[in-house]
Amino acid sequence: MSSGVINRYKDFLPVSEKTPIITLNEGDTPLIPAPYLSRFIGIDVFLKYEGLNPTGSFKDRGMTLAVSKAVEDGYKAVICASTGNTSASAAAYAVRAKIKSVVVIPEGAIALGKLAQALIHNAQVIAIKGNFDAALNIVKEITKKYPLALVNSLNPYRIEGQKTAAFEICDALGRAPTYQAIPVGNAGNITAYWKGYKEYKAKGRIKDLPRMLGFQAEGAAPIVKGYPIKGPETIATAIRIGNPASWKGAEQARDESGGLIESVSDEQILAAYKLLAEKEGVFVEPASAASVAGVIKLSKRGYFTRNPQPATRNPQLVCILTGHGLKDPDRAIQSIEKPKVVKANVEAVIREIKVARSG
Ligand SMILES: *Cc1c(COP(=O)(O)O)cnc(C)c1O
């Protein structure tokens, strides 16, 4: 079977015989059952682990299409503003396409792993003394005048590629989930998933649509508040965005699906981040944990029991885990105890071992 989201979902994507397929075999990520969360929340919970894409985030699904179309259209370089993962992905796919990449990032606000990726793939990285929203305005202006392909999620091909994750979830479950929880930053991804579910329904692949549950960080929650945030702040750098490009798409997903978009605090995000690692064995970056923080918050106020589904269906909840934990190693190290150093002998080591001994 051919690999990569373009090959697998060609019929749903704006490609033709003429489109060169620039791929790193992205997509086909696992939908992992979450027994701890299922017990905690009281319905079946699954984790869509998008951190297992080639560059460690879901951005690859959109980037394969955006870069393929840029090459088809004759571009020799791509440009993006980025909180990190878009630049890592753009840089890698540009290498595959043998074109150049330029990334504009907010100075000092990018997780270490992501910066390393852009640099090792030879992207030209330009840091600005400003935030993501300022970086996005700059690259938008530049691409109006210069022959660089914009590969932020304003690029409709990004959304088209990203919707394939919704197809995969439906293919795996044999139906759409009852609920889907997702972090919201620039809001391209929630827009993409909703588009994917609607298209699968239109083609008769699924009967029902999920309720879309979006979560922003409290200090970067423009959609929840209803106005752009000037200085967005959160430890979840991938969703530190004050004026989302796909604002309308997110509201549409929320309203058409009967879902919601709410905010979660950094404390709630970090608690969910640790819970995923300690209870489910899944390591994600902080922004990804916003989806789980959100469903824990909703479950505590009885949301999932107050919204009963038809008795014939046991409700299912899918949490989108957008990026890999290794993207942001600093955060992991800050949130745990440092390893203790002891003498190099059995007695010294055994004295420290806390696991109960069984006969
Ligand atoms: C980009 C990104 C997000 C936010 O997605 P949007 O489409 O901007 O809403 C969330 N988590 C991670 C890890 C990301 O890289």
Nearest-CA residue for atom 15 of ligand 1:
85
CA 238, distance to chain mean position in Å, is: 8
Alpha-carbon span 84 to 189, nearest angstrom: 15
| Ligand 1 contact, 239 CB (< 6 A) | yes
For every one of its 359 residues, what pLDDT tens digit does the chain have, with 9 covering 90 and above? 579 999 999 999 999 999 999 999 999 999 999 999 999 999 999 999 999 999 999 999 999 999 999 999 999 999 999 989 999 999 999 999 999 999 999 998 788 899 999 999 999 999 999 999 899 999 999 999 999 999 998 999 999 999 999 999 999 999 999 999 999 999 999 999 999 999 999 999 999 999 999 999 999 999 999 999 999 999 999 999 999 999 999 999 999 999 999 999 999 999 999 999 999 999 999 999 999 999 999 999 999 986 655 554 689 999 999 999 999 988 888 878 888 899 999 999 999 998 866 54
CA 231, distance to chain mean position in Å, is: 22
Q: How far is the CA of 53 from the centre of ligand 1 (A)?
A: 14
pLDDT of residue 112: 87
pLDDT of residue 197: 98
Ligand 1 atom having least distance to the Cα of 192? 7
pLDDT of residue 236: 95
pLDDT of residue 312: 46
Contacts by residues 12-18 (CB-CB < 8 Å, ≥ 24 positions apart)? 12/163, 12/164, 12/167, 12/199, 12/203, 13/65, 13/160, 13/161, 13/164, 14/65, 14/69, 14/157, 14/160, 15/65, 15/68, 15/69, 18/72
DSSP 105: E
Alpha-carbon span 301 to 260, nearest angstrom: 14
| Ligand 1 contact, 4 CB (< 6 A) | no
User: Which pairing describes strands 100-106 and 77-81: parallel, antiparallel, or unpaired?
Assistant: parallel
pLDDT of residue 308: 55
| Ligand 1 contact, 253 CB (< 6 A) | no
| Ligand 1 contact, 188 CB (< 6 A) | yes
Ligand 1 atom having least distance to the Cα of 184? 9
- Exposure b/e, 50-81, CB count within 10 A at least 16 = b: bbbbbbbbbbbbbbbbbbbbbbeeebebbbbb
Global pTM reads: 0.95
Q: Are 213 and 259 contacting, i.e. CB atoms less than 8 angstroms apart?
A: yes
Q: What's the one-letter identity of residue 302?
A: G
